[in-house]
Amino acid sequence: MELISAHTKIVKNIAQQLGFNYCGIAKATPLNEDAKRLENWLQKGFHGKMKYMENHFDLRINPQKLVPGAKSVITLMQNYFPTEQQKTNTPHIAKYAYGKDYHFIIKDKLHEFLFELNTQIGEITGRGFVDSAPVLERAWAVKSGLGWVGKNGNLITKQSGSFYFIATLIVDIQLNYDDPYAKDYCGSCTKCIDSCPTNAILPNKTINGSKCISYFTIELKDELLPNEMKDKFNNWMFGCDVCQDVCPWNRFSKPNTDTDFTPIPEILNLSTKEWEAISEESFKKIFKYSPLKRSKYNGIIRNIKFIQQ
């Protein structure tokens, strides 16, 4: 037990040293209840054209399929609430995309995390994931005591809201496990449901992804966006933060201190006309390290034209 406690302390210390705001640990077991919810969600077609959501179902619900011999799931959270906000007359961009692409930044941290674990504990097997592999990171965040899943589907912390990236590290060593988060502090509040521009938030913490603005502006690769969504985007051109912006718990959000997430000036300041006039060459140069690359130049121009119709 002393060795397990010592290893757990090392894990928590590394998380702090690497700049993660939260670190929780859960036992690596199959997520049977979450598996049922995911299967039901997929059967209803709430994933739209995101066919990748149907892949690797067994991997999503069982960490031991991802890391043979897995004993612990470490959940890490990093604040991305920006230091500055966009000008009100600019096309809206989700706050997570203000700075550099978090996939690369947090992936690097996870590699460093595993290196430190191997250095300080000994040879272990582990894999790190950040929003790009079949891992139910919010379920693990709840199991490791970091917060609850709100009605808007986001992981909410009581101390500082929901503007966080969530990363998962699955390892084959036993650690001390945190108690699962047992309470739900959303109460009778329905601000996120009432405020969603496209009515994508359903009861029972279910999100119809195929109606979400983030789905249309980022995930959907069609040349044209559906006519029935005209005038419903509320000037959002990449992602959407409405359900987080109206959440009362986000009044506790504090600006992050990571320079990698410093807002790109153009994201804060470009007007609609300037976005419309931007060349593909300029776009690739300015947003070389930005999440906006995910929609590519043509997708961004498509979105801009759609919200201006």
Q: What is the pLDDT of residues 93-149, one digit of tens each?
A: 999 999 999 999 999 999 999 999 999 999 999 999 998 666 789 999 999 999 999
Structure-token pair, residue 289? 């390290």
Confidence of residue 41 (pLDDT cuts 50, 70, 90): confident
Which position among 34, 58, 101, 131 bears the catalytic label? 131
CA distance 77 to 168: 9
pLDDT at residue 52 tops 90: no
In the predicted model, what is the mean pLDDT of the chain? 93
CA distance 35 to 129: 19
Confidence of residue 220 (pLDDT cuts 50, 70, 90): very high
Containing structural domain, residue 27: 1-309
Q: Does the annotation mark 131 as catalytic?
A: yes
For the chain, the domain total comes to 1
Global pTM reads 0.94
